[in-house]
Each structure stands twice: as C-alpha cells, then as structure tokens.
Chain A
Amino acid sequence: MSTPLLSTSSTSATAVGTVHRLGSVDQVPVGEGRAFAVDGRQIAVFRLRSGAVHAVQARCPHKGGPLADGQIDGSIVLCPLHMNAYELATGCSTTGQPALAGYTVAVEDGELVLTVPG
C-alpha cells in the first residue's frame, strides 16, 4: 500500500467491546463514507446528511467492492461495483446478498467513537 488506511488507537474497553476513537468526524464529509482500519478489520463509516453516523464492514460480500465509495441516503448504501444495496442501520441487503457486519459508532465531542465487539 502506498498510503495506509488511517490507523487508530484503542483508548478504553467496555463490556460490549473495544472502543476506538477514530478522530475528527470531519474526516468523513457529509453524505459520504470513508474507510478505517480498526483492529485488523476494515470498517466503512458513513455520515448521513441528518447528522447520524453508521459503521459497517468495508467490503461488499458480493464481489468485494469498496462500500465506502458507495452512495448513501437516509437508509441504504449502494456498492459502487454492482449496485447491491445494504441497510446502514442493520447491514441487511435489500438485493439478496449476505448481510454486512455492523458496528456501533457515535460522535462524541466532534470525534468518531467506534465500538468493536470482543
């Protein structure tokens, strides 16, 4: 890789998993997604126009498309390769694909806070 994905550091752990602070929410432009490498996983974080944030696995289960490059609306992300659609909130596909792994993400003090289970 000529440019690594943004690396992150773990700051605290709770019962539900490891909490990661990914840095400023402004890394993700409104209405778009960006990919993060967290604990060896690749996670796409999306920032909706409503202000909500969602995090799902970064790789489309269909043919490995980069979901962070996909287009979103208030509820779904479309994989840019073959337009498979997934619900951001649940990870479920509306086009017959396996579901995505979903992660808990929130914005605290302008920072993205992601919880990785386990």
Chain B
Amino acid sequence: MTTLQERPDTDTEPLDTRRRLVVIGNGMAGARTVEEILERGEALQFRITMFGDEPYGNYNRIMLSHVLSGEETDADIFLNTLPWYEENQITLHAGVRVTRVDRFAKIVYGSDGSATDYDTLIFATGSYSFMPAIEGLRTDDGELLPGVFAFRTIDDTRRMVEYAQHDEHRRAVVIGGGLLGLEAARGLQTHGLVVDVVHAGAHLMNAQMGPQGGDILRQSVEKLGIEVHLKARTTAIIGEDRVRGVWLLDHPQLECDMVVVAAGIRPNVDVALTSGFTVERAIVVDDYMRTVDDPDVYAVGECVQHRGEVYGLVAPLWEQAVVLADQITGVDTSSAYLGSRTATKLKVAGVEVASMGVLGPEREGDEHIVFSEPTKGIYKSIVIRDDKLVGATVLGDTSKVAFLMQAFDRGLPLPDERVEMMFNLGSPTAEVGAAELADDAQVCNCNGVTKGHLVACVESGVKSVAGVMDKTRAGKGCGSCKTMVCQIVEWAAGGAVVEDPSANWYVPGVPMDKPALMVAIREQGLRSVSSVFAALAPEGAEDAKSKMGLASLLKMMWADQYIDEKDAKFINDRVHANIQKDGTFSVVPQMKGGVTTPDQLRRIADVAEKWNIPLVKLTGGQRIDLLGVRKEDLPKVWADLDMPSGYAYGKSFRTVKTCVGKDFCRFGVGDSTQLGIDIESRFQGIESPAKLKLAVSGCPRNCAESLVKDIGIVAIEGGRWEVYIGGAAGAHIRKGDLLATVDDPETAKTLTGRFMQYYRENAKWLERTYAFVPRVGLDFLKEVIVQDSLGIAADLDARIQEAVDAYSDPWKEGAAPATPGQFRSSLPLEVLPQVPVR
C-alpha cells in the first residue's frame, strides 16, 4: 500500500473498490451462483455478502428425504459448510431474514436491524412449503399444531425424525401424493410408523405422469404397506394439544400421531413484492436473469419466473446460475437463459421414476407408445411428435432412461423400431439399472472397473462423466460400457452431474468443436499439429491426448500439404505397424479383397521363416497377420515382403472383405471380389476419425458379413447393389442401414467414397460409423449423399479424390527412416516375444 491509499481516519481498512454483491438466499440457487462466480475467477471483482434464512451453510435440499429415511446423516448433505464462506471471503448472515430492499438507495435491510449497501443484488429466495387452509392446522397463536410438519428445511427434517422416533407415535398421515409426499411417507416408514398418504388428485404424482402410470405407482407404493387415499380432501386436523387424527371429506376419521404437509411449494416473493419488483407467479426476469425493473438486480432459482415458467427442479436452477454468473462477471455477456426442458429421474418411495416433457399425447399425430406390466410395477409411456421425443414416463425399470433423457434433451433422431426406446434388445450390460447393480459388479470389462470404483470416484468429488472415465479408465477400452458408466455416474451424483464442457470438443486440449476447429485451421492456414496447439490451445499448451486426433484431422483437410510431425502420431502410425502387448508389432501386408497369389504366399512364408515370426494368423478381414515382429526388424520385413501396407494399425480405411461372388458361387449374383478389390485399391490408406472396415457380398446370403461393416455392399438379383452403412460386429453389434440400392458397381463405389468423406469431415474423433450414422440420422445421410440435397456431393467427391491422389505407401519409409531411431527398440530388455508362439 502506498501512503496515498491510506486514509487518515480511524478506519484502518484500505479503500475497498470492489463491487458490493449481495445475495438474498443461501440455498441451492444462491450458493450455486456464487460458486459459478468463484469458478470464473472473477470473485475479486466483488465483496460478497449472503443472507440465509436458515442458520447454516448451504445444503443439498434434494437429499433431505435421505436424511429423513436415515440413509444419510444431516452432516452429509452440506454442500458448503461455514469455513467455505470464510475461505472465499464471503460474509454470511446465517439466520438473518431480509425484510426489505430499498432499490433506489440500494440497501438491503435485515431482520436483525442491519442495513447492507449493494451495487449488485441477487434474489435467490427459493420457495416455501404451501400450507393449505385446514381447520385445526395451527394453534391459536398461529404456530403449527404439535405433530404437524412441513417438509422443506433441515430443521423440519430433524424435528420430524425426532418426533417419529418417539415411542408413542405409531401412525402418520402425509398430505400430498406428489414426489415429496411419497418421499416423506417412505422416510417415515423407516422409523416404524404406519403411514397413509392423502392425495387430493385422482392419481399419484399427477404433475409428472398420467393416470395409468399413477395407478401403477399406487400399486407399487401400496405393496410397501403405505395406504393411499385418492381424491381425498383433508378438511380438519383433530387434536387439542397435539395431532390425534385427520378428517377427510367423505371418509371416516384417520387416527394418527403426526401429519406431514407436502402439498406443494410456493415461491418466496414477499421481499421482492414489497420492495417494488414485478412479481407474477414469481419474480419476473429476462433471459439474462435480470429483474425487469432494475438492471442491477437479478434473481435465480425457484423464486424466478422466466418466460412464464416457474421451475421447481434443480437442473434449471443450475442453468440459470451459469447464465447469471456469466452476466454478472462480464465473462460472457452473450450468455442467455432460454428456458429448460425438465426431466426428473428419481427413486420415489423405493420405486424408480423418470419423467420428462408432456404426460400424454396432446396433438393430432402425436405417437403414444405404452408398455404396462402392473404386477411387476413396470410402466413405460413415450410420446413422440415429428420423430422427436416430447415426453416420457418410466416406472420401475430405468434401464433406458439415460437414452430417453438424452433424446429428449437434445432432440436426437429416434430409432425406427420404437420398442428399442423402451427395452434393451440384445445388449445385456445396460439391462440392469444403475441403482440395482451390485457394488462389485464389473462395469468396464476392458479395464476391470466396478460400480463401486465409479461411485467412490464420484464421491471423491469428480462430478463429470468424462472426469470419472479419465480417473478410473472406465470406458477407455472398447467403449461399449460408456452408457452404463454414464448412468452410474448420474445416479451416484444424484442429479448433480456436471456437464463436461469438453464433451463437444473435437479433442480435449483445444476448446473447440470440430466445425469451429476446422474453420480456424483453414483460416489461419495451420498445417501442423504443433502450429494448431500454438494458435488455438489455451496458453499454446500441447496436449498428448489430442495429438493423434489433430494429426488425423489435418491430414484429412490438407492431404499432401499437411506437415507431418512424427511426434503427433501414435506409435502405430509412426512405425506403420500395430503394437502388441509385449511391445512387438504385427505386420499385415495388403491383400486386396482377400485375394492372394501363390507367389505372395511363398514370399510371406519365406519372410516369416527368415525373421523368426512366431505367429502367422489369418485376420477377421481376410488377410495374413505376421505377429511378434520386433520394432527394429520392421523395415527389413517390409523390404523382404515387397508388398504394400495393409493398414491394420491406423484410424483409417483398412480392408474390404469379400466372398467369391458369381464367378464360382452357385448363388452369386454379382462380382463381389472385383468390386472389393476396386474399392480397396481406390481408398487404400485413407485416414478417418476411426477405423473403417468394409465388405462386399455377392448375394444376400452375405458370406462376407457386409451387414455388420462400416460400409457393406450386397449384390442383389437384377444386377443391382445395396449399400449399407453404420454396421458393426465388434464392441458394439449393429446391423447397417440401407443407404441406397444402385444399378452398377461404379455408383456403389462413388457412394462409398462420398459417405467416407462426409464421415471424415463430420464425425467426432474416434466416433465409429455405428455411432455416427444414428447420431446424424439415416434420412439425412440419404438426402445429402444420395439425393445431394445440400449440393455438396461434387465437393465431397472431389475432396475424397484429393485424398486418394495423396496416397503413398508408408512402408517405403523402411528404406530411409523418417527420424533418427524411428525403428529403434523401446522395449525393456526382456526375452521376446512374450505373445504365445503356437
């Protein structure tokens, strides 16, 4: 501090020039907003003061039902304890209610008589439990009759637990058969009480589901021993000193010792209203979360009305907090909140429930698909409009919920077989819901990661799917368990999954999606991986995990103008062979269409003998694999083979499997072998986001297994050919989709190249066609690739031709290494090979 900044009066504090930010409300919305501000590194702008009605730090209100049922202690549900406020220099007035805001003088008045100045103000006042007008609910002095509880705060919950555990208290009535009411009922049961649920609606959870689902839920709940009274209005609570029972309209008296009111919530808007802010159903805000009355006053959470909607779920609140933090810090002033699609996935009273969007068909043309199995408590209802999922209710079996929520959230194209949206057909791993899975159940079969590992990782604080996958290696093998990993992380995080910002990036080290990255690369003329990092990565930092994807992208974009940096490539691509478990390599010479000659066979045999190749094996793609070759022998093996590379190692076009076709086969209707050879000659070595395996079959008997290839071509009677895309028979099994039926092999070849180029340009890194085709949509691909609806077909054809023209056989590098020691062994000095010799 210089002397100029010191003030001569008794105040020894240096002049604080920070903006004064006051947050009214210390619940999930308020605290989350402050966390978002801290995360942006912009907290230094602000002197932050928070007011909380409750005398605590900030806790996860959603978990209160777990506290009630005893699954968690109240200490477990705190999100930010008091020291957190200190560490972040936030002044917390816990237990102080704000009584009034003077928005002209910019002062907040507290119930403790305090007056706090602000420059920027946030209302995060949340909601309170709605208490219907019931005779006998309150004593003469306005307090709730002893034994009557709301279910909203941690104090409510503690008092309920204490009361429920009282020996004399045997029966409870819960008023309200919504989500919260059912949770309360189940929780009270765990304390040994007999519980009745009284619900005014015609079926349970009527805000989230239709009558059929509600009926099945009622059956499930009643099986748990909870009696449900529907269309039941509570008219009075009986008892002088404490609760003795309730009166229902048209129903005899229900005796009970306690009553929990869970009849809904109402936004806390009193302070805003009396302070002159526009309040309709809640405090009205614009897309920037700003009140419509005052540019310095914002609001967030359940107390907010945005575009006519008031939300009572946690996901919208988080989306709002992000926008509000972007705005208030000025980090991203273009950030806007446009409303949320709300989806819930919960375990209500022991029953898995998921609900999203509309409850049933609303318009003409809405498809409504329902599956109902009441005895098992299973109910699934899906509403589809214009081929998009607009609503779903799932009870009892949530194995497909992750997919449904994604489809609902992102408007994904849906499978033609609608039943696939309800059941896992033939993929056993995801059949069991995350919750039911045993802790020691192995989820990732490649890396041996159990559900317990994943849950522990989430509990250690990793809240994004990508983060958990990184830490545990789950999903990093074949990738077939990713959906399951996702579901478990979501389940373990209890809805608190953090959207990983890098989820849409092409590679983790450059914060851009593929289209944006390609534009930047082209605009700045970036032709090497190191120049991409220097220009586009944060602080120009290299990232090992991003190199391979960038190298592939640049090669695709620049063809022969690409500047090849060896260190950007995976070892396979640096030595043009496939690394094996003992660090030796496998060598697969090209064998177009699976056709070879006696001369080639003789040469391969000679090479195998000369170089002591321990294992000679046929691959699944009809070629000969020489396994166990030492790195330093690679150039000599290639030289002796004197055949081009078969590309068995790269993220590239690999092989075309064929059958013998019409020349020999009794059933063959097309010359599949010739077409296979032609395709393999044309597209040899072309890089792609993931490997490409092709096949051509000479008749619909499909001996070459064309229906499970990335691109499969099948000859059919009449000289025509079917072109299938997106098939797979590896970690995932998927039958390819029919892209087109064409009249001649030439057109099949053209479509193959055009699809390949479209995939090269638009697929995510490592996204196989079996994921790409359903993501982009078959109909769309047909339009673009076959009908040329976008008018880009000629360009795609031209660009794939460029790639074809840029081909050179990598095995020629064997004659002169590209870098010093390119083929020098990196192996520890061990007896090789360690792969079995048969």
Contact = CB atoms under 8 A, between A and B. Distances in A.
Interface stretch (B142-150, B185-193, B816-824): B816-824
Contact of B543 (A70, A73, A77, A95): A73
B582 A64 contact: yes
B541 A74 contact: yes
A5 B823 CA distance: 11
B828 interface: yes
Nearest to A64: B828
A78 B828 contact: no
Given A3-B632, A68-B826, A63 B541 contact: no
Interface in A1-59: 1-3, 5-6, 26-35, 37, 42, 44, 49, 58-59
Interface of A: 1-3, 5-6, 26-35, 37, 42, 44, 49, 58-59, 63-74, 76-78, 80-85, 95-96
Interface in B440-486: 447, 470-473, 476
B825 interface: yes
A78 B545 contact: yes
Most A Cβ at <10 Å: residue of B472, B530, B570, B631: B570
A5 B165 CA distance: 74
A68 B828 CA distance: 10
B466 to A, nearest CB: 13
B632 A71 contact: no
B829 A80 contact: no
Given A66-B583, A82-B447, A82-B476, 7 more contacts: A33-B826, A34-B821, A71-B544, A71-B571, A72-B567, A84-B473, A95-B473
Nearest to A58: B828
Given A35-B826, A49-B542, A59-B828, A69 B571 contact: yes
B128 to A, nearest CB: 46
B827 A35 contact: yes
Given A27-B821, A69-B571, A95-B470, A34 B826 contact: yes
Contacts of A70: 544, 571
Contact of B473 (A26, A29, A82): A82
B530 A69 contact: no
Nearest to A84: B473
A68 B383 CA distance: 55
Contacts of B530: 31, 49
A64 to B, nearest CB: 7
Given A66-B826, A69-B571, A74-B541, A29 B821 contact: yes
A67 B388 CA distance: 48
Nearest to A70: B571
Contacts of A27: 820-821
Given A69-B571, A82-B447, A63 B581 contact: yes
A46 to B, nearest CB: 10
18 contacts: A29-B820, A35-B825, A35-B827, A42-B829, A58-B828, A64-B583, A66-B583, A70-B571, A71-B544, A71-B567, A71-B568, A72-B567, A77-B544, A80-B570, A80-B572, A82-B476, A85-B544, A95-B471
Interface string B546-579: 0110000000000000000111111110100001
A89 to B, nearest CB: 14
A27 B545 CA distance: 24
B640 interface: no
A31 B630 contact: no
B535 to A, nearest CB: 14
Contacts of B565: 31
A103 to B, nearest CB: 15
B625 interface: no
Nearest to A88: B544
B632 to A, nearest CB: 4
Contact of B824 (A35, A49, A95, A96): A35
B53 interface: no
Nearest to B575: A69
Contact of A2 (B473, B568, B581, B630): B630
A42 B830 CA distance: 11
Nearest to B818: A29
B633 interface: yes
B579 A73 contact: no
Given A34-B826, A96-B471, A80 B571 contact: yes
B579 A80 contact: yes
Contacts of A28: 820-821
Contact of B548 (A69, A71, A72): A71
A104 to B, nearest CB: 21
A29 B582 contact: no
Given A42-B828, A73-B547, A83 B476 contact: yes
B826 A69 contact: yes
B583 A65 contact: yes
A84 B572 CA distance: 17
B819 A29 contact: yes
Contacts of A80: 570-572, 579
A76 B541 CA distance: 12
A68 B819 CA distance: 14
Given A63-B581, A68-B826, A81-B579, A2 B632 contact: yes
Contacts of A64: 582-583, 828, 830
A80 B827 CA distance: 12
A28 B579 CA distance: 20
Interface in B787-834: 819-821, 824-830, 832
A71 B579 CA distance: 14
Contacts of A59: 828
Top 5 A-B pairs ranked by shortest CB distance? Answer: A31-B567, A68-B826, A66-B826, A73-B542, A69-B571
B544 A73 contact: yes
Nearest to A6: B824
A96 B473 contact: yes
Most A Cβ at <10 Å: residue of B447, B570, B826: B826
A71 B548 CA distance: 9
A1 B630 CA distance: 9
B819 to A, nearest CB: 4
B826 A37 contact: no
Contacts of A67: 826
A72 B544 contact: yes
Contacts of B473: 82-84, 95-96
B472 A58 contact: no
A5 B825 contact: yes
Contacts of A5: 824-825, 829
Contacts of A2: 630, 632-633
Nearest to B582: A64
